[in-house]
Amino acid sequence: MRYLSTRGSAPVLDFRGATLAGLASDGGLYVPETWPTLTPEEIEGLAGLSYAQTAAKIMAPFVGDSLTRQELQDLCDTAYGRFSHAAVTPLVQLDHDQWLLELFHGPTLAFKDVALQMLGLLFERFLRGTDTRLTIVGATSGDTGSAAIDAVAGRANIDIFMLHPAGRVTEIQRRQMTTVLAPNVHNIAIEGNFDDAQALVKAMFNDRAFADRHTLSAVNSINWARLMAQVVYYFYAAVRLGAPGKRIAFSVPTGNFGDVFAGYVAARMGLPVERLIVATNVNDILHRALSSGDYSKGQVQATATPSMDIQVSSNFERLLFDANGRDGAALAAQMKGFEGSGAMRLTNAQSQAIAPLFTSARVDADDMSRAMRWAADEAGQILDPHTGIALSAARKSGLDVPVVTLATAHPAKFTDAVERATGSRPALPRRVGDLFEREERYTTLPATFDAVTAFIDGHGLR
């Protein structure tokens, strides 16, 4: 399997190279040269497998010869052995056609663990026996940071610098990052929003001198290996609900488009996905793009769903690349225009290619709260607000197939919002119950390229 950039001019890499690189050198995102496919019989054969066995089967075509099949299975066994539920991503039934896929049973209580536990192991495996020291830089709107830090803390030959918007993540989310005191972990609170943090990360990758000096890599969903790992739970859930004999829809709370793009990959691989519902909050650039072709930045509004308070959805570029006939040069020009003006219209070809699989919904705070109350009162399920956004969209979809809402975080990560909506204040699981007693360590910096790169230059372990 080879990987090429969405913008067409970066070197073509194998899986190992694409994993270590993260962002392509031309500013694009790596995608597989072709989409592997599974036959209905192969999908049916996943029914009796554990999550780790399913993961190895789904990932194998993307990994190619960068790992042996046994090495890949061993990594999957290790990655998913840390989850608190034996099913890793269990399904919960809400009513006759609404389901939850619980993705928060990993060590940091969020769906990012499913991918980042695997990515941390891949980094370590690919660096073994080399003299390369990898510097991971990332931006987080809440959950990516803690999951990435947990995955690489203390690992050999890796430094991690994680940027979060000061005051715009919950206290639990912040503490899950800043109480990890391993010497290779550096938390930076920037005086700006998530889009500012994400722009700084992209700027660091695009500064060739800085990127080469530090051997940069990414843990955000711009890294293909992270998306690859997220494809697995779409197959795992759908097979348990009757696939390939039955079509399944998924409702996904999303800001950066990574989680829902993994569902698109599953569909391209042959999973019978009826619809992917892109559920946004009032920061609705993705809803506007999918419903009217208007991909234009607005002002970021702070909400009870901070992981979705985004106006630039990095992974949307991957979908546009496929929808544009994989014309890297044309997409590079389109994205350059967007980066310059903050506004872009999807082409007719892109809109027509996207329409059959995707639908979208913009969910405000009132509808989110109503969905959370319904889940608590009618199904006995306490949801985090991001999942409430997706459940609201799912219940309004009108689809006549099973609809799986991705439950992306443990409700205890958003106690205030959950209590406002449901009257219940969820407790942290026992395994992280001492979080508020742990020492914190982080640095606050202005949201400028010079300030952040100077800090990284001065604090990387050498």
Q: Is the dihedral of CA 235, 236, 241, 244 positive or negative?
A: positive
Which numeric CATH code is attached to 85-110+223-420? 3.40.50.1100
Catalytic residue among 112, 297, 336, 413, which?
Answer: 112
pLDDT of residue 170: 85
Contact 52, 76 (CB under 8 A): yes
Question: Between the CA of residue 208 and those of 20, 26, 130, 138, 369, what are the distances in Å?
Answer: 15, 10, 22, 17, 46
Instruction: Report percent pLDDT > 90 for the chain.
Output: 84
pLDDT of residue 419: 97
pLDDT band at 407 (very low <50, low <70, confident <90, very high): very high
Instruction: Report percent pLDDT > 70 for the chain.
Output: 100
The reply to whether 85-110+223-420 and 133-214+435-458 are identical in fold is: yes
pLDDT tens sequence across 371-405: 999 999 999 999 999 999 999 999 999 999 999 99
Nearest to 445 by CA among 171, 188, 128: 188
pLDDT tens sequence across 234-247: 999 999 999 999 99
**Mean pLDDT in residue range 258-268:** 97
pLDDT of residue 311: 87
H or E element in which residue 329 lies: helix 328-341
pLDDT band at 461 (very low <50, low <70, confident <90, very high): low
**Number of residues assigned to the chain:** 462
pLDDT band at 432 (very low <50, low <70, confident <90, very high): confident
How do the domains of the chain map onto residue ranges? Answer: 85-110+223-420, 133-214+435-458
Taking the C-alpha atoms of residue 208 and residue 83, their distance in angstroms, rounded to an integer, is 38
Taking the C-alpha atoms of residue 188 and residue 157, their distance in angstroms, rounded to an integer, is 20
Q: DSSP for 84-105? A: SSTTSS-EEE-SSSEEEEE---
pLDDT tens sequence across 269-278: 999 999 999 9
- Is residue 112 annotated as a catalytic residue, yes or no? yes
- Please state the pTM of the whole predicted model: 0.92
Mean pLDDT of the residues in the chain: 94
Report the top-level CATH class of 133-214+435-458: alpha beta
pLDDT tens sequence across 354-375: 999 999 999 999 999 999 999 9
Strand order in the sheet with 185-191: 216-217, 134-139, 158-165, 185-191, 443-446
pLDDT at 97 over 60: yes
Nearest to 24 by CA among 296, 311, 331, 307: 331
pLDDT of residue 46: 98
